[in-house]
């Protein structure tokens, strides 16, 4: 069984987002690749790391990690928006990334809601 078939939709969407962001940031101008490109990559990797930790941790530690992941997702949204506003991302790229961010956010929000009810 492949790893992707074991992943939940949240992990699949977030991984797709990572791949997309790493691809588009590679085409940033050299001076911005070192600043905003790296920032987008670091935040997105941090988000994915938090999701992996939340999946593997004890249930009583999960909500805190999910809330940290939600904060990272917000940081990523605003950083992607900054990339668009500074013309590093085209409108089409920004809309696509925004869609992936939105889908990941909905799935993460559902996971957080489930743990807030317990």
CB of 36 within 8 A of CB of 86? yes
* Residue whose entry in the numeric block shows the structure tokens 């078939």: 5
pTM: 0.89
**CA 97 from chain center: how many Å?**
10
Q: Which of 39, 38, 44 is nearest to 20 (CA)?
A: 44
Annotated domain spans of the chain: 7-116
Q: CB neighbours of 42 closer than 8 A, spacing ≥ 6?
A: none
Q: Which of 44, 114, 45 is nearest to 79 (CA)?
A: 44
pLDDT grade for 6, boundaries at 50, 70 and 90: low
- The domain covering 7-116 belongs, at the CATH homologous superfamily level, to 23S rRNA-intervening sequence (1.20.1440.60)
% pLDDT > 70, the chain: 93
pLDDT over 70 (residue 4): no
- What's the CA gap between 100 and 97, in Å, rounded? 5
């Amino acid at each position: 069984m492949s790893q992707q078939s074991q992943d939940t939709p949240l992990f699949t969407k977030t991984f797709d987002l990572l791949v997309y962001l790493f691809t588009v940031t590679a085409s940033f101008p050299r001076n911005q690749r070192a600043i905003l490109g790296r920032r987008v990559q670091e935040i997105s990797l941090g988000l994915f790391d938090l999701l992996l930790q939340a999946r593997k941790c004890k249930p009583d530690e999960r909500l805190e990690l999910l809330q940290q992941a939600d904060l990272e997702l917000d940081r990523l949204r605003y950083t992607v928006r900054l990339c668009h506003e500074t013309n590093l991302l085209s409108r089409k790229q920004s809309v696509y990334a925004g869609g992936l961010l939105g889908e990941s956010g909905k799935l993460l929000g559902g996971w957080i809601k489930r743990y807030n009810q317990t």
